[in-house]
Amino acid sequence: MGHVYYHHPGDKQFSLDFVHPDPGEIVSQIVDYDNDVAVKVQAYDIDEEFYVIYTSRVGGGPVREIDFNLNESLAKMSEDNSTIVVRLLEIYRALIAQNEEEEGVPVEAYKKIDVDALPDVLDRTSWEGSATAVAGRLASNLILKHALPNANHRTAVALVQFYLRRLNPNFSMPQTSIEVDPETYDWREWVNEYINKSKRLLTIRRKNVLFKHLYRFGARTLERKHAVEIDLTAYELDMYPSEAKIVYAEQHEDLWIEFVEEAVERAGYPDLKETPGLSKAEFAEKIRNLD
């Protein structure tokens, strides 16, 4: 009862963008989209009949073929930001390559890499406090900025490991994917639980007003791809989008700090919760010393 799909059930590249009970309003909305937006419409009938428009940007192509002028972007950044961004892109590319090796097919991009947005991730992060707090904020901000097509969460987890290793080279985040054996499986399940919570918060944060309408039409559960369900009764939907952005960003940051704290406990390095974090300048310097 009251079940609506966030991604179109027939094509997961399409996500929910507009909802209305009047077919005329649906047609008006479709006419307003730019030419590079593909559209699918789905009818639902819960407490009343309504229509959902699902949209997708056309023509992504494989991630590894995305063309951008990295040197031009780096030239606009501070030295510390450019040092960290280059390393971050290396981590991201390695994850995409690993993913392609596992799946045997190229990873399709649904948008471009927004390299120019990455310094903002670093500038918005508060680098004060414990190592786990800084690592958690970094991960949260990277995911919130959503500058990478695909693998934002996996890149954030890898960035946490990379940052904490600059303080303790022995720290290691257990495998979060690939083979399922008893030792890594618990880790994979546990990390996925955090990632799913993160995706729920991100989805609500982006489209709370839309979901408020869905709730009014009788929807109670929203299903994302990979069977991630969002219980609409568990979230406050009735706020201005600007307020929702702040409230859910704070919850998202808390979630990722909690993730890092639990990660260091499980990995046997609880002292990292008390260790002062590296500042951005110190982190960049340690990266330069690696090269």
Residue 222 predicted with pLDDT over 60:
yes
Residue 17 predicted with pLDDT over 60:
yes
Count CB neighbours of 270 within 10 A.
Answer: 12
User: Mean pLDDT over all residues of the chain?
Assistant: 88
**Predicted confidence (pLDDT) per residue in 145-173, tens digit:** 988 877 889 899 999 999 999 999 999 88
Residue 270 predicted with pLDDT over 50:
yes
Mean pLDDT throughout 195-199? Answer: 94
**Predicted confidence (pLDDT) per residue in 29-66, tens digit:** 999 998 889 999 999 999 999 999 999 876 555 555 55
Instruction: Determine the pLDDT at residue 100.
Output: 73
Lowest pLDDT segment from 44-48, 63-67, 218-222, 231-235: 63-67
Lowest pLDDT segment from 27-31, 104-108, 203-207, 268-272: 104-108
Instruction: Determine the pLDDT at residue 225.
Output: 84
Distances (CA, A) of 219 to 2, 13, 38, 41: 4, 22, 25, 17
Across 37-163, where does the E strand assignment appear?
37-45, 49-57
Instruction: Determine the pLDDT at residue 60.
Output: 56
* Alpha-carbon span 192 to 224, nearest angstrom: 14
* Global pTM exceeds 0.85: yes
Residue 5 predicted with pLDDT over 90:
yes
Domain ranges of the chain: 3-58+186-247, 61-171+269-289
Phi, psi angle pair for 127, to nearest 5°: -95, 15
